[in-house]
Amino acid sequence: MSDVPARNRTNHTTSGGPGRDESAQEQADRRWSEILQEVRVAQTGAQVLFGFLVSVAFTPHFEGLPHFDRTLYVVTVLLGALATGTLIAPVSIHRITTGRNLKPSLIRIASRMLALGLTLLALTIGSSLLLLLRSATDNPALSWGLSGLVLAYFATSWLILPQVLLRRPDHSLHPK
């Protein structure tokens, strides 16, 4: 590279935020790498949960489930399949579109798919928990209440907390 400061180079911006001096391509590469790391974490959880859900239908206890619980199981498995597919999709889309200068679009799409995948994963966990608690307790209200609390916790920690952080004047996680 030349001795010219990065911000004065052609096609170079400082859009990476405070303390960053990166080109649009460098920013896209960094953001894509961050998304991949996030997807890996969520994808693993979704795949493990989906694997366990599929195996439930082959247990002796499954035959004795009431109609509502069987329906809840089917909905839960479908949610798990959708969560898994949605969380894997950004990798597939990247593989098919790689080298075609689509990374900024891919980042927007992958971010949306990750958000949708996390929502589907939260719903899968919530309905799995409801199914488990309905089988483990004789108190349907407790089952629904605890499952609702878990979903409320997910909404708080996954959605509300980030919004609170974004509304802070300095957008900082660290005190000065």
Please determine, for residue 134, whether its predicted confidence score (pLDDT) is greater than 90.
yes
Q: How many C-beta neighbours within 10 Å does residue 49 have?
A: 19
Q: What is the pLDDT of residues 17-62, one digit of tens each?
A: 656 788 888 888 888 888 888 888 888 888 899 989 999 889 888 8
pLDDT at 174: 59
* Cα distance from N-terminal residue to C-terminal residue, the chain: 35
Secondary structure of residue 138 in the 3-state scheme: coil
pLDDT at 19: 67
pLDDT at 23: 84
- Domain assignments of the chain as residue spans, ordered by start: 21-167
Q: What percent of the chain has pLDDT over 70?
A: 85
Q: What is the pLDDT of residues 103-114, one digit of tens each?
A: 888 999 999 999
What is the C-alpha to C-alpha distance for residues 129 and 134, in angstroms, rounded to an integer? 8
Where does the pLDDT of residue 13 fall: very low under 50, low under 70, confident under 90, or very high at 90 and above?
very low
Please determine, for residue 14, whether its predicted confidence score (pLDDT) is greater than 80.
no
Q: What is the pLDDT of residues 160-169, one digit of tens each?
A: 999 999 988 7
pLDDT at 24: 83
What is the C-alpha to C-alpha distance for residues 176 and 167, in angstroms, rounded to an integer? 17
Residue 62 carries which side chain, given as an amino acid letter? F
Q: What is the arithmetic mean of pLDDT over 134-162?
A: 95
pTM for this entry: 0.79
Q: What is the pLDDT of residues 63-73, one digit of tens each?
A: 899 999 999 99
Contacts 24+ apart (CB under 8 A), 111-118: 111/35, 113/86, 113/87, 113/89, 114/35, 114/38, 114/39, 114/42, 114/87, 114/90, 116/86, 117/39, 117/42, 117/43, 117/46, 117/83, 117/86, 117/87, 117/89, 118/42, 118/87, 118/158
